[in-house]
Every structure is written in C-alpha cells, then in structure tokens.
Amino acid sequence: MKKTLLAALGAIVLMTTACHKQPLSTGIRPENLDTTIVPQEDFYQFATGGWQKNNPLGAEYARFGSFDKLGLQCMEQVNELIKEIASKRHKQGSIEQKISDVYRLSMDTARRDIEGIEPIRRTMDEITAIKDKAELSQLLGESMEYGLFAMYVDADAMNSSMNILNEYQAGFALGQRDYYVDEDEHTLMIRNEYKKHIARMFTLYGFKDGEQAAETVLRLETRLATAAKSNVELRDPQANYNKMSVADLQQLVPQIDWLTFLRALNAETDSLSVGQIAHLQEVGKMIEEESLEDIKTLFRWQVLDGASAYLSTEMYNANFDFYGRILSGKEEPSPLWKRAVNMVNGTLGEAVGQMYVKKHFPEENKQRMLDLVHNLQKSLGERIQALEWMSDTTKAKAQEKLDAFYIKIGYPDKWRDYSKLDIDINLAYYTNIQRAAKFEQEYSLSFLNKPVDRDRWYMTPQTVNAYYNPATNEICFPAGILQYPFFDMSADDAFNYGAIGVVIGHEMTHGFDDQGSQFDKDGNMFNWWTAGDKSRFDERTKVMRDFFDNIEVAPGVHGNGGFTLGENIADHGGLQVAFQALCNKMKEEGKCPMESDGNQYTPAQRFFLAYANVWAANIRPEEILQRTKSDPHSLGRWRVNGALPHINAWYKAWNITEESPLYVAPEKRVSIW
C-alpha cells in the first residue's frame, strides 16, 4: 500500500427465473492464456500471455495491466456521471456545480493557452519579493507551492487513539533519493535530462539563464536528497518516529522559527514527530549556508514543477516530455478527458464516489465480501495456531490483533462535507487547484490533536486498490476494485478466492509483515513478540528479502528485496491464507480443490490462474527501471513467478518438479504466515 494496496471478491448464484439458478462459471477466460507455453516453464506467461497479446501497450501508458484496465473501466463509468452533471447548470455552491466546474476548467485548454503563465505570476513575484531569510519561516508555513519538508496529520504511533503532526522528508522533485546519488549509466542519463528539463521550464517562464538555474536547483535538491533516508530505511517505523516538543525542535533546527512556522501553517501544537532528523537538520544547514537567491531559485522551480500540469499546453507538454516520456517511456499524454476525471476525483472524490456506488455497487456485493473476509480471518487464525516456530504467548497476541481488524468495504458510512471548497469558474484553472489543495490541507489539519476517526477513509469508493492501515488496524476494500478480474459474481469460489481472496489475505498479512508486526491490535507501535519469536520471524523474512534481491528484473538490474519486503510478505501470506480458506470452503461441500470437478482445470489450478491474471500486464523498459527504484511492490511478473515457487500447493496443483526453472527446493522456500 502510502502503504501497499489491492482487492476483489467472491461469487453468488445469479437468478435466471424464480425457480432455477444459473450454474457458476469457472471465471477463467481461455483468451487470457498462452497455451504455447508450458506452465512449469513460465507460469506467468502461460497464465497471462494471451491477455498481454490482446491488450497491447497504448502510447499513453508506461504500464498497462489488469489493474489499469479495471481502472479505465471505472474512469469511464465516472466520466459518464460527470458529463451528465456538466451538461447542466447548477446552483453556485452545490456539489454538482463544483464537480461540473472542475471538469470544465480541466477540459478548457484553449483558455489556459491564452492565460499562459499568468496564473503563477503572483506566486513568482512573492518569491522575488523575499528580502531576508527571516521571512522563510512564515513563508514555508503559509505557502503550499513550495517547501523543503512536508507536514501531515496522522495517528500518533505510540498513542494511536490521538492524532499528531508529523514531519517528512521532501524538497527534491524526482522523489527518489536514488536518482540523485546512484552512478549507473541509466541514472546518470536521467539526471542529465532532468537538468535540461529544469532549464527548459525556466526558459518557458521567461528567465534568461535557465541553465544556471538548473545547476542551482539540481545542486540544492541533491543536497537534500543525500541527507534523506533511502526507501529501505523509510520502512523502519521506529526509526522514523521521533516525537519531541516544539521547544526541542527549535534546538534541533534553530534556523527555522518553528512557532512562526506553525502559526502560519495553522497547526499550533505542543509536540510533533520528526520523521527523518538528519534531513530536517540539513534543511536548516542549507538555509544557513546557501544564498537567499539560490533558495529562491529552488522555490521558483517548485512552483514551475507543481503548476505545469495546470497551465498552457506548451508547459504541460514540456512537463510530460520529461516525467512521461524520458522517465517512464510513455509516447503521448493521456487524453484530456482522463486528466479531467482524475482532477475531479482528486478534488471531490467522495462526492463523486457517493454517486458512483449508487449506480455501480450492488449491496449484495458488500455482503458477499464480508463473508469472504470472515472466511479469510478464520483461515489466518488457523494458520497462526499451527505455526511451529511461534510460541503460544505470541500466537495469542497475533490472534487478538487478527480478531480486532476493522473492516471497511465498498464505501464510507459517512461522507465528507465539501461545502467550504469554493470553486469559481471565472478564476484560472491553477487558482482553483490551489484552492482545492488548500482545502485538503485544512481538512487534514482539522484532525490535529483530536481523537482518531476510525470511520475516515483514505481512498475513494471508485478507487481500484485496497489498503491496510496499521494505526487503526483496518483493512479497506473500495467498491472500484470489487469487479472482474478481482471479483466475479458469476464465477465460482476457486476463481474468487484466487483473485479477491488473495487480495483480502494480502491486506490482512500486512498487519503481520515486517512493518505491521511492530504494531499491536490497537494500532500502537508496541512489541508484542517474545525475543525468540521475533528473531525467528526476522530469519524467515530474510529468506524472502534475499530471494527477491537475486531476481534480475532487467539486464544487470536486480530487484530490491528490502524495499519490496512488506509487499512480498503480504503476497505470500495472501496466497497461503486464501488457498487454505478455499480448502475449508470446499471441504464443507465434501470436495477437494486438487481433484477434478469436470472442468479443464482443477479448482486448485483455477485458483492460481485467477491470481496470476490479477498481475497480467505489459510494461516499458523505462518503467521497469523507474518502478524498481520507486515502487514497494515487485513487478507483476515476479508477483507470480517470484511468489508462487514458495507456495507448496502450487507445486502439487501444477505438477512442478525439480526440472522446472521455477523450482525452489523446499528447504529454501519462504515460510512465514
């Protein structure tokens, strides 16, 4: 999920008449398979090769997979809702007016071309007007367009019932520390092209010396990135929790007046958690050591970089040329209507979601999903009790946490209030985006120093994803993902347990992965393990880490087993728990998934085919390299060919022998949950 995410659902008999039921299908679509491939040789290609052939990579995509295809379907559904709203006039201040105007503003490129760079001129002039570094504390607090670090409100990791202000490293536009410090040929190329891109954007705005500005920006961003933690280091929740008083923060980073900053941010508080101390100290040193003009140049870049998608076609295309074409390998931007839908979802997501579920999410889907979740909970509980490597003391704590899962399915029970969001179609698109961003910031800050609201959702209902939140010990499955290929109401249990069932198990297992296992049933960062059990758990997760470290994802490039560890553990656990749940379900019916039921593939085989099809995808070489640096999930191919060789049931279902290139000796297989 910020944190690792997925989902899908089970099957219900469809009524064809008042007296007869239509038999459930297997859910397996033969056209998705590549039967020219032997499954024991390359299971991913066998299970998804047909899908890849039938779903070629479009010019706008760096990767197009099952997730993306369902996401496109949801986007088309939302677009129809929005277009209907936008075709009519609405009362100013109504939800319909806001949805309509955000959509219309986003679609109006002709107006943006006329306005050019004018929408950001006021902000640029404010930067130019800065006369003294003493002004920076106020400026950083009151302005969202630029910043050297980030602030957000979330549950206190040591007191999960209350919200606290959290600081997090930021200030480098490429996002990933590796892009600034790695010296391989590809990364050096990216840095060189990035510098050219910065210079081009400054020139498009009208600055005379774009190349000098680019040198300054890259130097300062590199300074911040070098002091930042790596993606692997960021996975340690204890090392990234440093609660302190504001007075102590003032001593830690004296170059910023923190009382002034917090007042400007409208986040007055007595304490906060500093995520990455060395990075924040480097921010202070940079303010002290760098010239004011160079810092202002960095701020100007942050405005240009953040605003380019909402300005003229020329600015948008320049932004796409680097971030889309060079960094990800895309050939052309997404169509305008898709960008407009994304913007409406981003600004008024729950309002749209409320309309979406009324039309596209039957209530019976929610009930079926609850049944599946409870079956998976039972299965995971059984697996915990059967663990040979864990003591009864730790098992009892694990079971308590499992029983305490807070389950969210489909949509929130209460909806967000957007009445204070003011969208004015007479103002520039970028100005309205600023307003929306400010509204989101104020919404987040409204929770500061208040009890945690467990009913708050962190995804919209139309999102094709899912998540586990350790602070609230919750698992969430939005309506958007509860569709084929994750959930098929007309398909049997073998399909649905292999697809959405594994997703459910995946999110549950996040509560017990290398990060989630550090939080108790109430969401507090608390060690509930005995020393011996924790040591044995770490030994077992190291097997997973080392295995994925050794996978060559591109010529000369290996996966990052430490960075992807949590997601890989969750995939492994999801597969184990879901398959056992399927066995339990079929046993109740006097059946066994390994035995033929008259179909071409046994239920066990269909389980693994359904799982693999969730990860069907085509991907560009550039995107493989980018995701290896930035994505905590393994690539789709390896979520199949890397995960399944550690699942004993897969060997039996598909007759995988030592001759298979995917074979892993039993003593070398991962065995955790």
Task: State mean pLDDT over 418-445.
Answer: 97
Kindly report the backbone phi and psi dihedral angles of residue 406, in degrees, each rounded to the nearest multiple of 5, phi listed first.
Answer: -95, 120
Q: How far apart are CA 218 and CA 221, in angstroms?
A: 5
CB 372, CB 10: distance < 8 Å: yes
242 pLDDT exceeds 80? yes
Task: State mean pLDDT over 429-445.
Answer: 97
**Pick from 158, 140, 148: which is nearest to 244 by CA?**
158
| pLDDT digit string, tens, across residues 36-50 | 999 999 999 999 999
Q: Which residues contact 409 (CB under 8 A, 6 or more apart)?
A: 366, 369, 370, 373, 476, 477, 482
| pLDDT digit string, tens, across residues 383-428 | 999 999 999 999 999 999 999 999 999 999 999 999 999 999 999 9
Rounded (to 5) percent helix, strand, coil in the chain: 55, 10, 35
pLDDT at res. 145? 81
Task: State mean pLDDT over 301-327.
Answer: 98
pLDDT, mean over the chain: 95
Q: How far apart are CA 421 and CA 435, in angstroms?
A: 7
Sorting pLDDT into bands at 50, 70 and 90, what band is 4?
Answer: very low
Task: State mean pLDDT over 329-340.
Answer: 98
581 pLDDT exceeds 70? yes
Both tokens of residue 387? 């663990």
602 pLDDT exceeds 80? yes
Sorting pLDDT into bands at 50, 70 and 90, what band is 14?
Answer: very low
16 pLDDT exceeds 50? no
Q: Ranked by mean pLDDT, which of 2-6, 17-21, 208-212 comes out on top?
A: 208-212
pLDDT at res. 2? 37
Residue 369 is which amino acid? M
288 pLDDT exceeds 70? yes
9 pLDDT exceeds 80? no
| pLDDT digit string, tens, across residues 243-278 | 999 999 999 999 999 999 999 999 999 999 999 999
pLDDT at res. 238? 97
CB 559, CB 548: distance < 8 Å: yes
15 pLDDT exceeds 50? no
**Percentage above 70 pLDDT, the chain:** 97
Distance of CA 575 to the CA centre of its chain: 20
The lowest-confidence range among 9-13, 302-306, 613-617 is 9-13
**Pick from 551, 476, 547, 553: which is nearest to 507 by CA?**
476
Q: Which residues contact 291 (CB under 8 A, 6 or more apart)?
A: none
Sorting pLDDT into bands at 50, 70 and 90, what band is 21?
Answer: low
pLDDT at res. 519? 98
**Pick from 438, 200, 156, 419: which is nearest to 304 by CA?**
200
| pLDDT digit string, tens, across residues 644-667 | 999 999 999 999 999 999 999 999
The lowest-confidence range among 138-152, 470-484, 518-532, 585-599 is 138-152
Sorting pLDDT into bands at 50, 70 and 90, what band is 19?
Answer: very low
Is the domain defined by 14-76+342-414+455-668 classed in CATH 3.40.390.10? yes
| pLDDT digit string, tens, across residues 346-368 | 999 999 999 999 999 998 889 98
Q: How far apart are CA 246 and CA 279, in angstroms?
A: 17
Common-topology check for domains 14-76+342-414+455-668 and 132-310? no
pLDDT at res. 591? 96
Distance of CA 29 to the CA centre of its chain: 28
Q: Hey, where are the domains in the chain?
A: 14-76+342-414+455-668, 132-310
- Determine whether 30 is exposed, middle or buried from the number of CB atoms within 10 Å of its CB (0-12, 13-18, 19+): exposed
Q: How far apart are CA 20 and CA 23, in angstroms?
A: 9
pLDDT at res. 157? 97
| pLDDT digit string, tens, across residues 148-176 | 999 999 999 999 999 999 999 999 999 99
Q: How far apart are CA 579 and CA 502, in angstroms?
A: 8
Fold annotation for 132-310: Neutral endopeptidase; domain 2 (1.10.1380)
pTM of the model: 0.94
345 pLDDT exceeds 80? yes
